[in-house]
Structure 1
Amino acid sequence: MGFAKFIPDDLDRRIIAHLRADGRASLSKLADALGVARGTVQNRLDRLLETGALLGFTVRVREDYDDLTVRAVMMIEVIGKSTTQVIQRLRGIVEIRTLHTTNGNWDLVADIRAASLPDFDRVLREVRMIDGVANSETSLLLSTV
């Protein structure tokens, strides 16, 4: 069963919703909350992971937890039909937390988190050196209001 063919049903979506709220929830806790057997939850989680619908489990941290992080949004213009190659290269930069396609003057939007200004500067240089990147515009995120 390939990822493109897998369509999550209502139970799958409910499992994912519970995991978004509590990624550490035990199988028993999920089963109780969803009103299904523990084995059902295990089988569904296995299938969600196997098909790629669920990529893994992670930690969510308050936005203000790490105030020493340099945060920015970068808008990227791509030349011609090189978007796929540019995306592959951008995904290799660990400071780029999320990457989105968009419409308008820009082709991609990158959410950047760097440990320091020198690290942030390095990320900017790396992005600008990627073949296929025509232009970029970056805005530092100063405070959350």
Structure 2
Amino acid sequence: MGTTERLDDADRKILALLRRDGRRSYADIGREIGLSTPTVKRRVDHLESTGVIRGYAAVVDTARLGQGIEAITEIYCADRTTPSDVVANLAGIDEVVSAVTVSGEPDAVLRLQVDDVRHLERVIEDLRHRPDVVRTRTMIVLSVLVDRPTALGR
């Protein structure tokens, strides 16, 4: 594990603004929070170099791409399966858009994006044939009520 970064209010404000719009200019951010453009750039560079900001991404409407179904799949693995084993078992399954280990019964919970139910069935069958995967449990997402980046300082 890396070291924990201590953020001041200005860093928190910068992160909040970048979460809402990662393409926002340093000048615009600086105007909103009362810092100069070079100061904002220096702070963002520091947040990037320390790994607080891991990257930037486009938010894609997958339904417009024909990937109209999202599913949540719990995977249950053989004894002594490590998180790195789980990651290895997910290799090559592009439909997995997110995977987390959790407390409780499942070893991991996956978020899947697929075209249709048949596509989902093929992905689940693929998962079930992976080494270490003993069983799965899948739920189809009916609607997304909240989907936002994580917030700091809760």
Could you say which TM-score interval applies, normalised by the shorter chain?
Answer: 0.7 to 0.9
Aligned CA RMSD, in angstroms, stands at: 2.6
For residue 80 of structure 1, what is the aligned residue in structure 2?
Answer: 79
Paired residue type of 1:4: G
1:44 and 2:43 aligned: yes
Unmatched runs of 5 consecutive residues or more in structure 2 = 146-154
TM-score for the superposition, normalised by structure 2 = 0.76
Give the secondary structure class of the aligned counterpart of 2:2: helix
The share of aligned pairs that are identical, in percent, is 28
- Partners of 2:67 and 2:114 within 8 A in 1: no
- Give distance in 1, aligned partners of 2:6 and 2:92: 29
- Is the deviation greater in 53-62 or in 40-49? 53-62
- Partners of 1:99 and 1:108 within 8 A in 2: yes
Unmatched runs of 5 consecutive residues or more in structure 1 = none
TM-score for the superposition, normalised by structure 1 = 0.80
For residue 148 of structure 2, what is the aligned residue in structure 1?
Answer: none
For residue 131 of structure 2, what is the aligned residue in structure 1?
Answer: 131
Paired residue type of 1:103: S
- Partners of 1:99 and 1:109 within 8 A in 2: yes
For residue 105 of structure 1, what is the aligned residue in structure 2?
Answer: 105
- Partners of 1:76 and 1:133 within 8 A in 2: yes
Deviations 1:22-69 (A, max 9, x none): 222111111111211211221222222222221211223568766751
Which aligned pairs between 1:56-67 and structure 2 lie closer than 5 A?
A: 56-61=55-60
For residue 16 of structure 1, what is the aligned residue in structure 2?
Answer: 15
- Partners of 2:76 and 2:133 within 8 A in 1: yes
1:7 and 2:5 aligned: yes
Question: Would you identify which runs of 4 or more consecutive aligned residues in structure 1 move more than 4 Å?
Answer: 61-68
Is the alpha carbon distance of 1:34 and 1:88 closer, same or farther for their aligned partners in structure 2, counting shifts above 3 Å? farther
How many residues matched? 143
